[in-house]
Amino acid sequence: MVSLERSRKKVMLPKKFMVHFSLCFVMGFFTGFAPTGKSIFHSHVDSSNRSEFAPQPIEVSQKTTDFNRSWRAPTPSSVVHKHEKPWPQLKPRTLIIIVTPTSTKLPIQAVIFLTRLANTIKLVPQPLLWIVVEGQTESSELSKTLRNTGIMYRHLVSKENFTDLEAELNHQRNLALKHIVHHRLSGIVHFAELSNVYDLEFFQQLRYIQVFGTWATALLAANRNKVIIEGAVCDSSQVIGWHLRNMNNESDTITPPIHISSFAFNSSILWDPERWGRTSSLQDTSQGFIVYTDTNISS
């Protein structure tokens, strides 16, 4: 009996193995035809609990929004550090226009004095324009001197022939004024003679002139034994006269013409007269017009 039961158990083991193997094969075969990326076990949970696990919208009150806005960082343009000062508004310097006539009667002295005057002008802060007028023919030596100065300049040549020295210089100044009008140069015009001696602070003061400016000057007489001090007589900001005195504080009996280097003026007076309350028909570019008409202009 014992041997019979053992033989039956031996027969049942291969049958159970074949049954289990068949079931696993069938399940694996049909599982291979199922769609990928979706689980049959999770589909029911997703469909039934979707509303339960989905995030709900949050209502934000106006008070919370204002609180967040108050803590919002300012834009970079509005950030100003307490220890930093705002950048100052830089005002461009006024152009100084210096007019210097030369004489054909003294060519050697003209170059020497021109070099001395150039050594002063080159120390003046820019912008500055130096208009040098030469008589009759252009001198190569004078042109070379101007090129070596390093100053912004314009070299004009007068074709007129003069026998009188003062008439020649007056013509050269008027030629420079016509050049200013033609090119509408905007700046403060000052006539600088070759023999003039300057303090650098003088050119800084020229830039403060709005319309017309004048100052007291000391003139050395030709015989070098007499110094004449001349200056304007002013009423508030208007020039109403002129006075001359020597070193002994005595008034001169003879009243010479006003020295050309005793004043400076805004160049727009020449080419924009309507700006200063005059009609364009009264426009003139001679130095006589400047001296005798503009002495009553408010500075």
Strand partners, 265: 189, 212
In whole angstroms, what separates CA 98 from the centre of its chain?
23
What is the pLDDT, as a whole number, of residue 74? 53
Give the pLDDT confidence score for residue 5 in this predicted structure.
58
Cα 41-43-49 angle, rounded to 5 deg:
110
Structure tokens belonging to residue 214: 């004048």
CA angle 155, 156, 160 (to 5 degrees): 150
Structure tokens at 239: 């020039």
Output the pLDDT for position 176: 96
Sheet holding 188-191, edge to edge: 153-158, 128-135, 96-101, 188-191, 263-266, 212-214
pTM strictly above 0.85: no
CB neighbour class for 52 (10 Å; exposed up to 12, middle 13-18, buried from 19):
exposed
Q: In whole angstroms, what is the distance from residue 270 CA to residue 283 CA?
A: 7
Query: Can you state the angle between helices 140-149 and 107-121, rounded to 10 degrees?
Result: 10
Kindly give the confidence (pLDDT) of every residue in the chain, 299 residues in length, as a single tens digit, with 9 standing for 90 and above.
545 555 565 556 666 767 777 777 777 766 666 655 544 444 444 444 444 545 555 554 454 444 444 445 555 554 555 566 667 777 889 999 999 999 877 777 788 899 999 999 999 999 999 999 998 777 788 889 999 999 999 999 988 888 888 899 999 999 999 999 999 999 999 999 998 999 999 999 999 999 989 998 887 766 667 777 888 888 877 778 777 665 455 555 455 567 899 999 999 999 998 887 776 644 555 555 444 333 333 33
pLDDT of residue 202: 95
Report the 10 Å Cβ neighbour count for 227. Answer: 13
Q: What is the pLDDT of residues 122-140, one digit of tens each?
A: 999 999 999 999 987 777 8
Residue 21: its H or E element:
helix 2-31
* Neighbour count for residue 61 (Cβ, 10 Å): 8
Q: Which CATH superfamily is domain 96-212+260-279+286-298 in?
A: Spore Coat Polysaccharide Biosynthesis Protein SpsA; Chain A (3.90.550.10)
